[in-house]
Structure 1
Amino acid sequence: MIRTNGRACTGKRRHDTEEQAEEHRERLIAKGAVRLAAYRCRNRRCGGWHVGHTPKPRTTR
């Protein structure tokens, strides 16, 4: 796990490839997690892939 000054990577598992991140996402979904996505980290020091929650759908009033 990489820690950075910002919150980008703190507490997140780093994957070297998109495929590794997708495999991890699939395992989490099999355990009951919902709305997960694999994404490339914006932190250039990390350069890896993470799995995180997607935003909840917005409701209109």
Structure 2
Amino acid sequence: MIRTKGRACTGKRRHDTEDQAEDHRQSLIAQGAVRLTTYRCRNRACRGWHVGHLPKPRT
């Protein structure tokens, strides 16, 4: 699970299901985005699915 560092999901697109979020992730990748993942929102008011960036690899 990707941590959001305590940030709220304000400004993020909410998806009702993991499949919807995955479809959105695939469309973003088709447009050239890289290193994206889908994750369940930990915000109790949201509890939806979001698309976010993976952490940068450690060097």
| TM-score normalised by structure 2 residue count | 0.86
The equivalent residue for 2:11 is 11
> Which consecutive residues of structure 1, in runs of 5 or more, have no partner in the other structure?
1-5
> Could you say what the CA RMSD is over the residues aligned between the two structures, in angstroms?
1.0
The equivalent residue for 2:25 is 25
The equivalent residue for 1:3 is none
Residue 12 of structure 1, CA deviation: 0.2
- Count residues in correspondence: 54
Q: Give the Cα–Cα distance (whole angstroms) in 1 for the partners of residues 7 and 57 of structure 2.
A: 23
CA contact (8 A) 1:8 1:41 kept: no
* One-letter amino acid matched to 2:14: R
Residue 10 of structure 1, CA deviation: 1.4
| TM-score normalised by structure 1 residue count | 0.84
Residue 19 of structure 1, CA deviation: 0.2
3-state secondary structure, aligned to 1:16 = coil
Q: Which has the larger radius of gyration?
A: 1
* One-letter amino acid matched to 1:29: I
* One-letter amino acid matched to 2:18: E
1:23-54 deviation digits (Å, cap 9, x = unpaired): 00000000000000000001011010000000
